[in-house]
Chain A
Amino acid sequence: MKNKVKLFLVDDDAVFLKLLSIEFQNAGDFEITTFPTGELCLANLDLGPDVIILDYYLDGIQRDAMNGIVTLDEIKKTLPEVPVIMLSSQDSIAVAIECMHHKATDYVIKSETAFMRLMKVISDIFSVKKLEKQLDWYIDFV
């Protein structure tokens, strides 16, 4: 990861959003943009994020806000290739499966280890991408 990774963080929980952005800032290598709502995230997709981290319950504070799954669907319509990692403080299989069905890359629980897990998922995403590139190259070669 030589170039900075463009990261979108989307959460209506301002405290958790700030915490994550501090942690990613400390890690370096990231260009971070934060959004308190799914609507704002969608309006800024043309900034070209490399990875999006999206809260599942975006309508927890504002009742009429777009929820996480709807936002996820909209992102996938515009940028189908961009990995989206879903976040929730609820450890529920149903929620995890729902996210996977809607083409989320992964599902991470909001806890003290959330940041570590997110970092792991992101680095996995990039190593898979690298492998895919190499594979393409070999296929062309053959």
Chain B
Amino acid sequence: MEIEPEISNINVLVVDDVPLNQLLMRTVLEDYGFSCDIAGNGKIAIEMMKANTYDIILMDLQIPEINGFEATNYIRKTLMSTIPIIAIMADVNTVDLGKCNAIGMDEYMSKPVDDNLLYRKIVGLVKKNKLIKIKKVIQKKQLSEELCTDLTYLGLITKSDPKLMKEMILLYLEQTPPLVQTMKTSYLLKDWQRLNKSVHKMIPSFSIMGISSEYEKMAKKIQDYTGRQGLQDGILSLIEQMEDVCNQSYEELKIELEKLNISNSEK
């Protein structure tokens, strides 16, 4: 049988309590060039999942402490891992396969395990999972391209100190909504001087939060219009665009703040 070259260094976690089965699995997997760790029960398996990175799990269903279903459920729900899991069972006829699927197992095999079939399933699942991961990264990248804020500059200035970054973001979140409000009311009241000043105050924060310089130009255009008679009619659409970008940046920075809080609490 051909060993696929692009699939190498697969790290397998085998969960089985019977020493003979453990030895058998290890021999087969190492024959295929995979590396493998053994967990004697579900509890150990979960601990090992937390400590190491694996590409796939072969999970015997009848294991002590925490059984295969419970362990899988924990890996999916609590560890939030999408790692492929193959259920290994003594007798397919006595096991509820629907339950296997529902709990988040990807495949099942009965003992005695057929070597070739096992190899194909492992390679297939690992490849599929890698593809899904790549797709997610691409999707995330595409999303980030549509973001209006970019914290590169802020990270540079604060040397990525999460405390300072949080402080800066909090100040922006506090300061921006009242400025937007002032901008809108002063337009309605035709208080051009006030409109000018409120828009003026937004400009420095825009560049600090990495908001496109287009909006800075827009703010300057509004300032320019406020100073000239008869041009005020053109301001409204500019104000609406400014409001949109302020609202969007507000939402984005709220998420960034949460991310910083999470990474902080993890430390």
Chain A residues within CB distance 8 Å of chain B: 12-16, 18-19, 22-23, 26, 57, 59-61, 63, 89-90, 110-112
Is B75 an interface residue when CB atoms closer than 8 A count as contact? no
Given contacts A13-B205, A60-B198, 15 further A-B contacts (CB under 8 A): A13-B201, A15-B171, A15-B208, A15-B209, A19-B157, A19-B168, A19-B204, A22-B164, A23-B157, A26-B159, A60-B197, A60-B201, A61-B179, A111-B207, A112-B207
By secondary structure, the B interface counts as helix
Is B200 an interface residue when CB atoms closer than 8 A count as contact? yes
21 contacts between A and B (CB under 8 A): A13-B201, A13-B204, A13-B205, A14-B171, A15-B204, A16-B204, A16-B208, A18-B168, A18-B171, A19-B157, A22-B157, A22-B158, A23-B157, A26-B157, A57-B200, A61-B182, A61-B198, A63-B194, A89-B200, A89-B204, A90-B200
CB–CB A14/B223 < 8 A? no
Q: Which of A16, A23, A112 contacts B205 (CB 8 A)?
A: A16
Is B36 an interface residue when CB atoms closer than 8 A count as contact? no
Residue of A nearest to B219 (CB): A89
Q: How many B residues face the partner with a CB closer than 8 A?
A: 26
With a cutoff of 8 Å between Cβ atoms, the chain B residues found around residue A16 in the complex are: 204-205, 208
CB–CB A14/B208 < 8 A? no
- 8 Å CB contacts to A: which residues of B157-173? 157-159, 164, 167-168, 171-172
Q: Which of B164, B167, B208, B223 contacts A90 (CB 8 A)?
A: B223
CA–CA, A60 to B198, complex, Å? Answer: 6
With a cutoff of 8 Å between Cβ atoms, the chain A residues found around residue B164 in the complex are: 22
Encode contact with A along B186-204: 1 for CB under 8 Å, 0 otherwise: 0000000010011011011
